[in-house]
Structure 1
């Protein structure tokens, strides 16, 4: 059992069952009924919400325990999601098949992050959207969640480098917010936000 399996095997939902607020703000960019890829979606709060909005969702995670809870949450909400248990460090999704990629608090070691980010971005069809929110290196001074390893945290400049020139940046921001996402993310936090669009030509 890996670390995330152990974490998700606890009762309840570590990060709650409500969707991430930034995702909710950005979801209107996605065409109705979009195919959306959610790497690292854990217990499924974001994938289940997107499915409830009518999107076709693939939730990908290295924790089967988390994915099983995501399926249970989807069933309780009366929606269907597809899940896949893989390691993002090695997995390559089919190219140009999605209208959206949603990366919400998906923290990978710096040595593999850029390659993984680029593989995920390349799954976007022309005009597709990538929506990202993650903890910034300055999160190390906060106690509201996230890895305690600065190597797994990215500022806006590093995120931009990961996706350039594949994506056209539509929104880029880093700053303080207040989190209220279950017991795992609660209180003031310093985050990086990015929205990019796959070029059409």
Structure 2
């Protein structure tokens, strides 16, 4: 499906970065290593590379990542791409200064697989940045988000807080906002925005 969606000359979600990421990217340690999940045609990865980050864009679609590489070349930056399935992808340990998840709507089991890896994969002071549609999107007239038949793919703040409780929450909100990203994401939308940080464990001493 995604190869077909990305096969046209037009970028399905545009070439500009996600608004939330644009507003909040400075929370990522300067010059750090960033992993962009389900990055598609690369707009967010390329934006971060333009800000001086070392970016790896992973996605299931080889077609999408080829467009990401071309977009990076056109913008005069370099990104690393990895064709991979999130259901099997291994994040590594103590590797990333940020992990970015923008509209990565996956089934519950895959989501839990992802969330279980985020804490060990982040370096100390690394951040997880996410924006996703919530189930309230089904009540909106906007374009975007999973279909009603796949409700488990929607995000929620409660789920993020529960599954990533070991991280220090920096931003956590469910809200409605205008989204304008290519033809695939348009209109007043119901979203969850979440940023959390991995802090150093306190050293306990006995004196």
Q: What is the TM-score of this pair, normalised by structure 2? A: 0.93
CA distance in 2, matches of 1:121, 1:47: 21
Shift of 1:59: 0.3
Q: Tell me what 1:185 maps to.
A: 185
Conserved? CA contact 1:124–1:198, under 8 Å: yes
**Quick check: 2:40–2:64 contact (8 Å CA) kept in 1?**
yes
Aligned positions, number: 198
Distance 1:18 1:108 in 2: 23
Q: Which has the larger radius of gyration?
A: 2
The corresponding residue for 2:164 is 163
Q: Report the CA distance between 1:30 and its aligned residue.
A: 1.4
Aligned ranges for residues 70-81 of structure 1 at < 5 Å? Answer: 70-81=68-79
Change (3 A) 1:66 1:121: farther
Distance 1:45 1:200 in 2: 31
Q: Per the alignment, in what secondary structure is the counterpart of residue 194 of structure 1?
A: strand
1:50-61 correspondence runs (5 A): 50-61=48-59
- Bigger shift: 18-27 or 156-165? 156-165
The CA deviation at 1:186 is 0.7
| Structure 1 segments unaligned to the other structure (5+ residues) | none
**Deviation of 1:106 (Å):** 0.5
Partner-residue secondary structure (3-state), 1:122: helix
Q: What's the counterpart of residue 145 of structure 2?
A: 146
**What TM-score, normalized to structure 1?**
0.95
| Range with bigger deviation, 26-35 or 43-52 | 26-35
Structure-1 separation of matches of 2:63 and 2:26: 30
Alignment of 1:91-106 (within 5 A): 91-106=89-104
2:99 partner SS: strand
Residues 92 and 120 of structure 1 are in contact (CA less than 8 Å); yes or no, is this contact kept in structure 2?
A: no
1:135 Cα deviation after fit: 0.5
Cα displacement string for residues 169-194 of structure 1 (whole angstroms, at most 9, x for unaligned residues): 11100010000111111111000010
For 1:6, the equivalent position in structure 2 comes to: 4
Moved beyond 2 Å, runs of 4+: none
Q: Provide the rounded CA distance (Å) in 1 between the counterparts of 2:43 and 2:119.
A: 22
Cα distance, 1:93 vs structure 2 = 1.3
CA contact 2:29–2:126 (8 Å) conserved in 1: no
1:49 aligns with 2:47: yes
Question: How far did residue 118 of structure 1 move?
Answer: 2.1
